[in-house]
């Protein structure tokens, strides 16, 4: 096992700067998830760690050793891809053995590692099958098994569940988390799926435009986003973000709010159906009702407020589009942001500053 240190890491494609001076420490045995929209630089960052992309400037240290100029095979890492990357003409056993054979690993050691991986992943009965005879979930287990037999210092996961259906993704998330905790292998995981990121990570790293926007535990980032981008990106649906000038035009009472507050944020689950005395009250009209069995999402709009408002409640709410209702934004659950999109009334842990902190 080992730590991974990324130090002022940059990647340029011509005049385009894809990764802009990232600093990140992954502790020994920690699972860090990189999450962000397409084009934010998360996969490029992972591929640089793997040695599949050249580094424009900066350092990558694995186990304290600078590996920027090292070949992928010399970095003591194993990567799991979204497309499985299995050899179709080989059996499962052959796929698991291939890398070890190329390294000249003794036969007895190969057999031990393959059997250990098969036991851990419960793929023993599949060892003589070809990849075409396997389901998507089984192929992904084999891909993980191929990484496990390497017994690497670190695992790198590049959107490994994106090709699976929703039900199977849930199952595989649980298996990956269980596997990583059992093996205690340092892991860097890339995904665009927020739920996947929240449920897997020891720490989350939210990326935007080639930079780290915020880093922290999943609940720290969800409960205390440090920028408007993080507030909007994390959560499904995302946080309600309402310009203060729209609320003022709507006639909402904003007394007691910071003078430099430009945007007010409130999670859908925190919006009240019946506003209390200290809540910011809003008169709203129902646009759409989404009944999801265990919960209801109400999509609302209000006069003079251009942004839509989403309200989430457990169970079923029997309302029809066009219905009028009075909602409240609880003072204690409001997130406040200034005109530059920075959080007010909290720690100034924005952008790169959060990523430079040492792992816990």
Counts for the chain of helices (H) and strands (E), in that order: 10, 17
Mean pLDDT of 219-240: 94
Q: Which domain holds residue 112?
A: 4-223
Which of 169, 192, 223 lies at the terminal end of a domain, its last residue? 223
Cα dihedral value 197, 236, 172, 161, nearest 10: -80
pLDDT band at 355 (very low <50, low <70, confident <90, very high): very low
- For residue range 305-336, what is the model confidence (pLDDT) as tens digits? 999 999 999 998 889 999 999 999 999 999 99
Longest dimension (CA), the chain: 77
Its pTM stands at: 0.88
pLDDT band at 162 (very low <50, low <70, confident <90, very high): confident
Which of 223, 257, 289 lies at the terminal end of a domain, its last residue? 223
351 domain-assigned: no
Residue 322: give its domain's CATH number: 2.40.50.140
| Mean model confidence pLDDT for the chain | 91
| Domain count within the chain | 2
Nearest partner of 291 among 258, 313, 269, judged by Cα: 313
Report whether pLDDT(359) > 70.
no
- For residue range 268-281, what is the model confidence (pLDDT) as tens digits? 999 999 898 889 99
The pLDDT of residue 1 is 63
CA distances from 103 to 87, 148, 150, 160, 336 (A): 17, 15, 10, 25, 56
- 59 within 8 A of 3, measured Cβ to Cβ: no
Q: Are residues 77 and 217 in the same domain?
A: yes
């Amino acid at each position: 096992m080992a730590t991974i240190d990324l130090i002022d890491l940059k990647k340029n494609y011509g005049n385009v700067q894809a990764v802009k001076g990232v600093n990140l420490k992954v502790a020994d045995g920690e699972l860090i998830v990189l999450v962000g929209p397409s084009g934010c630089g998360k996969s490029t960052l992972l591929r640089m760690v793997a040695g599949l992309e050249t580094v424009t400037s900066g350092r990558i240290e694995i186990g304290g050793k600078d590996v920027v100029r090292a070949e992928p095979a010399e970095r003591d890492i194993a990567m799991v891809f979204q497309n499985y990357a299995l050899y179709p003409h080989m059996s499962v056993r052959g796929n698991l053995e291939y890398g070890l054979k190329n390294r000249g690993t003794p036969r007895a050691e190969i057999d031990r590692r393959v059997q250990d991986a098969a036991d851990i992943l419960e793929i023993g009965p599949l060892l003589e099958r070809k990849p075409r005879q396997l389901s998507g979930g089984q192929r992904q287990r084999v891909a993980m098994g191929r990484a496990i037999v390497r017994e690497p210092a670190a695992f790198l996961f590049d959107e490994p569940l994106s090709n699976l259906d929703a039900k199977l993704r849930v199952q595989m998330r649980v298996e990956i988390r269980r596997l990583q905790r059992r093996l205690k292998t340092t892991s860097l995981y890339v995904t665009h799926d927020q739920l996947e990121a929240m449920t897997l990570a020891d720490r989350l790293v939210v990326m935007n435009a080639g930079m780290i926007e915020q880093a922290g535990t999943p609940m720290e980032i969800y409960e205390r986003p440090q920028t408007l981008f993080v507030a909007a990106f994390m959560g499904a649906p995302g946080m309600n973000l309402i310009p203060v000038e729209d609320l003022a035009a709507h006639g909402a009472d904003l007394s007691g709010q910071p003078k430099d507050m430009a945007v007010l944020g409130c999670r859908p689950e925190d919006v009240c159906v019946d506003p209390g005395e200290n809540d910011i009250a809003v008169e709203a009209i129902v646009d759409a009702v989404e009944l999801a069995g265990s919960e209801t999402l109400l999509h609302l709009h209000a006069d003079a407020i251009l942004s839509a408002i989403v309200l989430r409640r457990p169970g079923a709410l029997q309302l029809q589009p066009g219905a009028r209702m009075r909602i409240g934004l609880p003072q204690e659950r409001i997130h406040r942001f200034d005109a530059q999109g920075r959080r007010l009334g909290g720690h100034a842990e924005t952008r790169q500053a959060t990523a430079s902190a040492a792992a816990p």
